[in-house]
Structures are given as structure tokens and as C-alpha cells.
Structure 1
Amino acid sequence: MSLARPGRSAARLPVALLAAALLAPLAACSSGTTGTTGTSGAGDAKGTSASATASPGAGDRPVTVAVTPAGNQVPAGGPVRVTAIGGTLTSVTVTAADGRTLPGEVAADGRTWTSGRKTAPGAAYEVRTATRSAGGTAGSSTAAFTTAPAGKVNKVDWRPGGATTVGIAQPISLVFDHPVRNRAEVEKQLKVTTSNGTEGSWGWLRDWSGRDRVDWRPRTYWKPGTRVTLEAELNGTDSGPDGGWFVRDYRTAFTIGAGQVVKVDLDRHRLSFVRDGKTLRRIPVSGGTPGGDKRSWRGTAVLMAKEGTINMNSETVGLGNAYDKMVDHSMRLTWSGMYAHAAPWNARFFGRSNQSSGCIGMSDADAAWFYAQVRPGDPFEITGRDTKGVVAPGNGFGAWNLSWAEWQEKSALR
């Protein structure tokens, strides 16, 4: 069954926090520096020099400090470099107007410092340095520059949200507002940290919405209890042609719940709910009607959301025999509209035959119990002879239908 697609919304958080959550499209049983400023002109990224303020001793020449970039409205997206001429750097601090600092390191010879982060568009930076001359005299200097604003801004929607507990098949999924052509550069800024060193990889996909998307999935299902953190240090990264700039960082953290797997056997018309290796209940079901567009998908689908009572309308998935009804205990499995849900109108078929419009239907009582047990991120391992095919990677969270080697090939850093 299916319903009209709702719009997408996002809650934006402060810089360095992950800012929104993907909302599901609508439902359907598918069947559907203050100081010395550089003198370069606008857009000029040449370095500027400033002398240290301490007076030199006898025979001791002052240290000259060169900062790149310099000037006003210089291009963003590169590192800040500071060079000491006639001495060494003892410290460098680069601070943006909003108070954030750019981390960086002084080279082994003490003469250069390079930031570990790129400059962001539309920002003002102050560079403060402390130096020591060859004769041992200490000094300091200040320089400043500004970067040109972004002509277009690229934003991110993602799953899962922060401070949540999810199932063992849940990927990290980022969907971009605009195209991402500089995929390798973007992927380099995405850092996943786990509490137990889980092996995983990013993979680039075309989302069901048609937008660019990148997912991170483990090699195998997550270990229950794993704590996961994503740090997407994207501020100052260029998406490439037609994509625009990222102008903020994102961060989220979540936890993996119990080891729950849902096994759906369409040929036997049965759903088995397994937790930590123990089958808790076997539920008679009816899947998609064989022989046409109403067939169900097979393979591994991941529970995307528990949507409760929703309106399902066949017109949203192009089915000829229209239906329009409120459906209880609805659990979304794909963007294209396959759900598990209560389907009391099909009671005579549960455990006997597949007669739905593509969804996995069950009784009200079984659906209520099952709905209370499952959580987003739980895998549904669906088997059956007569289906529409395997769930595609971008149709919900179908990455588990690719082998580990196939998934790794989708990384831009391979």
C-alpha cells in the first residue's frame, strides 16, 4: 500500500553538531587577525609579511613572518600557511570571527606552520604568531584576512539521528542537497569512530530521490552495544561543479541495540522475529501478490522508520486498482513503499498465500506486538521465489545486498 510523499524537513544545529534528520517520503505498500592586515587586493591569496614586535639584541635581526592567504575576499578551501624568515615559530593561533580556531602543526625545523583544516567561505581570520630569532630574541606578530562568500551552499540530511539506539544493520547515511563531484575530498572529511574498532567503508549511491548520497556500513552487522560517532568536518570543502560549498561541520553519535533480525519467508508465508539468536515469535503473514507489480522485494531491507498509523494510497505508486485507507502499525522498509503492517482485511490469507499489494501484512494483534519489539536499523532478511527482485542499495538501506568487495568499490578513495 502507499501514500502521498510528504516534504523533507531538517533541524539545523550549531557548527560542529550534526544538524538534521531525514524524514521519510510518504508511505506506500509498493506494489509501490585584528592587527596588521595584508595589503593584497580582493581575491589575492599571496602571502603578507609582518615583523616580530620585540626589539632585537646586538647583531640580532628581527624575524619576518609571512602568512598565506592574505588580503580580503580571497578564495576559501585551502590551508593557512605561516612561515618564519630569520628565526623559528614558537606558536601560531588562527582564529575565525566566531571564535573557532584552526588546528595545525609546526614543521620539525620550526620555520613553517600549516593548518589541518581548510578556510571556510565568508569568514574573517586573525593569525597570531610567537617567534624566536636566531639570536634568541622572542617576538610576536598579527595578521588578518577574509575569504570570499560561497556562491552556493551544499547542505546535508542524514540518518540516524543523534543520541538514538538503532538496529544492527543501520548504516550512516548522508544525502546532499546538491551534486557532489569532489567525492574523494568530501569522503576524506568524514570520520567514523566506534567503541570496538568496527571495520567499515563508505559507498557512494544515487538516492531514491535522485540526489547524491554516501553511506557507511560495517563489513558485517554491528555488534550490539557498539557506540558510534560520526564527525563530518566539511566546513570549507568544495562539492565541485554545481554543488557549492559546505559551510558547517556535522557530528552525531548513536548506539547499537540488541541483535535483532527479522526473517521473512514469503514461500512459507511466515515471519520469524529473532533476538540474540533466539526466535521469540513466528507470525503468519501475507506478502505481495505473485506475477506482477504487486510482488514484494526480496533480499535484506532495513527498517527505516516506525510510522504508526498512516494513510496508504495506491495512486502514489501507480497501481490501477485504487485503494485509500488508514493502516495501523506501519513500519517502512523501502523508499518505494514496501512496509510491514497490520492488514486485518487480508486475515484469510495469513500463513496461506501472498495476496497483498507488496507489503508484509499480519493481524492486528501480531502487528501490535511486533511493532513494539522492532527498532529502526533492524534487518529484514526476505526470501521468496516470486518477487520483484532484490532491494537496490539506494531504495532505503539496501547496501547489505552487495558483497563486502562490491561495497568497498563504491568508495571514492579506492
Structure 2
Amino acid sequence: MIRSSPTHPHHRTRTLLAGAATLGVALTACSAGGADQADAAGPSAKAPEISVNLHGKHADAGEPVRVKITDGRLSKVTVRDSEGGGLPGKVSGDGKSWTSGREAAPGTEYSVRAEDDHGASARAGFTTAAPDKVNKLSLVPGNKTTVGVAQPLSVVFDHPVKNRAAVERRLDVTTSNGTEGSWGWMRDYSGKDRVDWRPREYWKPGTEVSLKADLNGVDSGAAGGWFVRDYATHFTVGERQAVKVDLDEHRLRLTRDGRTVKDVPMSAGTPGGDKASWRGTAVLMAKEGTINMRSETVGLGDAYDKMVDSSMRLTWSGMYAHAAPWNKAYFGKANKSSGCVGMSDKDAAWIYRHVHVGDPFEVTGDDAKGTIAANNGYGEWNLSWADWQTKSALGGDPN
């Protein structure tokens, strides 16, 4: 398993505990098989005296549950919420305490059952305070999807995440072949906090990838709120494909397993200004089909307003590959578009049918306005592996 992932001061009301709740012999021993467990264990067995660090109806969320026994040794502790979910944990080596491996979630009612080494047991219960704010997230790729070899795992949060290390520790990636990778934090193009998991190199075809985001009970930090559920996704990596866009030669080539299977003329963005194309590696974000493209949405005034076929999104800033029959005089000859990679209707439709979301578009050449940023779509492939690793909250600069 490979493990990872502008605010105002945020104050969260916390219940100050004067001490742990103690349950002594007044608690009734639990029953088993229809007989009182104390009787079953012998006439001298009695309910153990235990203490729980969380108690009452406004207990602190985000804390592990700790159970201690006054006399004897604990053999088993079970902590369950009102919906039947449990908090796993371990008994200490001396048998005197038990600690949950996960934190108590906010706004949740828990029951505790502790059994000692004589088979007698005691119960306790508590309810955590409701969250004042809830944080949610969106995951890419979607569950049970097949993607191209450059597709990263991407998590975008609804609210800011100040406790990045705490969140990243709960993001567990497993792969079918031990793929090396790392999480990296950034500000998404939308302005929200985002963390992506990128392999060191492109995925191997056929790799199975799973993410478990066990975030229930984790505090995002100031202005972010609590996570109140877990998340998961699973996807498969498809065939080895890449699209190579040469701005200087005005050609677009689809390669499969290193072999060119389609080579078409194209015209990219007009060099020398805002209409130039980006260079670097983009990842095909979506196949959007026929869409309305308006220049005002990308800061180019009223230069165009067109219905465009075979549209393949490459960046959030509006760079696409698509059909551009109005530009046919320049295909294979010059870059004269408003930033996108344009082809004939026939060629664009062929490329559209054969590429997959997650395929890399590797754009090279001098006729560019700069390199695609990491947060502009999935531009993290434009960072070296060493630079990418520094963006992990656990291994370097989290910003």
C-alpha cells in the first residue's frame, strides 16, 4: 500500500472535560446466550470498572476513544455508532487500556462495550457535538471507470483545508503493481483547495487503482469544517496512448504503444500574444462533443461565438483540441487559431473517437505562450518528480 492526500480565525466550541466517565459495579453485566455473563463466568465475576475519555452528549469529536480498566485486564472493546459502524482499535500490551485507531466523528452517538479477561463486561455511551461546518469533496476519476495513462487522482474540497497533513494521512492509494506516486497540494483553478496523486511516470496499462479516503471525524482546520463521511473510488488504466502536438510542424499525431497510428495536419494558437497555445503535457479532461465556444469566456472579447464539434478539453483556461473547418487554409502550415488545436471535421472526429479521458497531450514547439500550470487542468506532469514530491504535506512544502 502506498500512503499519502485566505481565511479568518475559526473558533470551534469544545466541551471541556473535567474527567473521564467512570462505570463501576453498578453497571449491569452484559448478557450472552441468554444467561448473565457474570453468572456464566462464575459467582465471583462482576462488571469491570472502566473509564472512557469521551462522555456526555457534547463530547469532543476528532479525538480517539480511550477506554481504561481499573482492575484486571481488558480482552476486547467494541465501539459502535448508532448506524452500526465501528471504530477499530487495539488493547495495550499490559491490557489496561484500549485506543481506537480512528477519531470519533462529530454529531454521532456511540456505544462502548468493554470485556475483561474473566468474560465480564460493562457498557458506556456518549454523543459527540454536532459540527458547526461540514467539508465535502469531489473525486476524479469516477468509480469503476477506465482512464488513460496520464490521469492523476484528484480531490477538490468544498472548503479550505488547513490541516493538510492530517487529511493526507487519511488518503490511502493502493495499486495492483506497486506503482510509485505522491500527493501534491495546490489551489485549483476554481480557487478551491485540491490535492492530486500522480505516479512518478505514466501508469502501466491495466493497472488497478483504489483510493480510500477515511476522513470521517477529521477536522479540516480554520474555516474548513469537519468531514462527516468516508469516500472511495476505483479505476482501471487503459491502453498506452499519447497525443503529440508539434506547434512548429503544425502536426498532431496519435501514438499507441509508441507507434504512430494517426498523423494529421492542424493549426494551433496564433503566436506572440494571448491567443498562443500552451506548451507542455496536458491531460485530456473530458470529451465534450459539440459545444458553444465564446471568446469572452477566455478573456478574448467578442472574437468568436461558434458551435464547435469534436471538442476535447485540455485545460480549465479553455484550451481544446477540436474541429475547426473555418481554419482549413492553415492546417499543416501556420498557427492561426485563438489558442486551441484545430483540425478538419474528419480528422477531429477520428481523433475524438480514439482518444480516452486521461490520455496525455504532449505539446512541443516554440509557438507557445508558456507552460501549462499544474492546476490548469492536470498539468502536474510539467513538474519534475522531485518538485512534485515537495508539494506533499507530509514530505515537503504543502503549498
Normalising to structure 2: TM-score of the pair?
A: 0.90
Moved more, 316-325 or 239-248: 316-325
In 1, Cα distance between the equivalents of 2:85 and 2:57?
19
Query: What does 1:78-89 align with in structure 2 at a 5 Å threshold?
Result: 78-89=63-74
User: How big is the shift at 1:386?
Assistant: 2.3
Q: Which residue number in structure 1 is paired with residue 84 of structure 2?
A: 99
Task: Give the letter for the 1:370 counterpart.
Answer: I
Change (3 A) 1:328 1:109: same
- Candidates 227, 232, 246, aligned match of 1:251: 232
8 Å contact kept, 2:269–2:277: yes
Change (3 A) 1:120 1:325: same
Task: Give the letter for the 1:141 counterpart.
Answer: A
8 Å contact kept, 1:45–1:75: no
Change (3 A) 1:92 1:365: same
- Candidates 257, 262, 269, aligned match of 1:288: 269
Find the residue that maps to 1:101 and give its secondary structure.
Answer: coil
Q: CA-to-partner distance for each residue in 1:307-365, whole Å, 9 max, x for gaps?
A: 00000000111213521110000000000000000000011111000000000000111
8 Å contact kept, 1:237–1:246: yes
Aligned residue pairs: how many?
A: 370
8 Å contact kept, 1:42–1:72: no
8 Å contact kept, 1:83–1:113: yes
In 2, Cα distance between the equivalents of 1:187 and 1:326?
42
Matched, 1:118 2:103: yes
In 2, Cα distance between the equivalents of 1:76 and 1:165?
37
Task: Give the letter for the 1:305 counterpart.
Answer: A
Q: Which residue number in structure 1 is paired with residue 362 of structure 2?
A: 381
Q: Which residue number in structure 2 is paired with residue 406 of structure 1?
A: 387
Change (3 A) 1:179 1:392: same
Q: CA-to-partner distance for each residue in 1:123-161, whole Å, 9 max, x for gaps?
A: 0000011112xxxx3311110000001101111012110
Task: Give the letter for the 1:204 counterpart.
Answer: W
In 2, Cα distance between the equivalents of 1:376 and 1:60?
64
Matched, 1:361 2:334: no
In 2, Cα distance between the equivalents of 1:85 and 1:159?
49
User: How big is the shift at 1:42?
Assistant: 6.2
Q: Which residue number in structure 1 is paired with residue 9 of structure 2?
A: none
Matched, 1:372 2:345: no
In 1, Cα distance between the equivalents of 2:355 and 2:107?
45
- Candidates 258, 278, 295, aligned match of 1:277: 258
In 1, Cα distance between the equivalents of 2:390 and 2:18?
37
User: How big is the shift at 1:237?
Assistant: 0.5
Superposition misfits of 4+ residues, deviation over 4 angstroms? 55-62
Q: CA-to-partner distance for each residue in 1:24-46, whole Å, 9 max, x for gaps?
A: xxxxxxxxxxxxxxxxx965373
Matched, 1:198 2:179: yes
Change (3 A) 1:236 1:351: same
Find the residue that maps to 1:170 and give its secondary structure.
Answer: coil
In 1, Cα distance between the equivalents of 2:327 and 2:171?
46
Q: Which residue number in structure 2 is paired with residue 347 of structure 1?
A: 328
- Candidates 46, 50, 53, aligned match of 2:23: 50
Q: Which residue number in structure 1 is paired with residue 167 of structure 2?
A: 186
- Candidates 232, 238, 257, aligned match of 2:219: 238
8 Å contact kept, 1:231–1:251: yes
In 2, Cα distance between the equivalents of 1:45 and 1:222?
53
In 2, Cα distance between the equivalents of 1:330 and 1:225?
27
In 2, Cα distance between the equivalents of 1:396 and 1:45?
50
In 2, Cα distance between the equivalents of 1:281 and 1:386?
22
Task: Give the letter for the 1:292 counterpart.
Answer: G
Moved more, 120-129 or 81-90: 81-90
What RMSD in Å do the two structures reach over aligned CA positions?
1.7
Task: Give the letter for the 2:110 counterpart.
Answer: Y
- Candidates 50, 54, 64, aligned match of 2:49: 64
In 1, Cα distance between the equivalents of 2:320 and 2:133?
37
Q: Which residue number in structure 2 is paired with residue 265 of structure 1?
A: 246
Q: Which residue number in structure 1 is paired with residue 10 of structure 2?
A: none
Moved more, 54-63 or 392-401: 54-63
Change (3 A) 1:346 1:97: same
Q: Structure 2: 5+ residue runs without aligned partners? A: 1-13, 30-37
In 1, Cα distance between the equivalents of 2:149 and 2:207?
9
In 2, Cα distance between the equivalents of 1:79 and 1:321?
58
Aligned residues with identical type, % of pairs: 63
Change (3 A) 1:89 1:389: same
Q: Which residue number in structure 1 is paired with residue 115 of structure 2?
A: 130
In 1, Cα distance between the equivalents of 2:111 and 2:358?
45
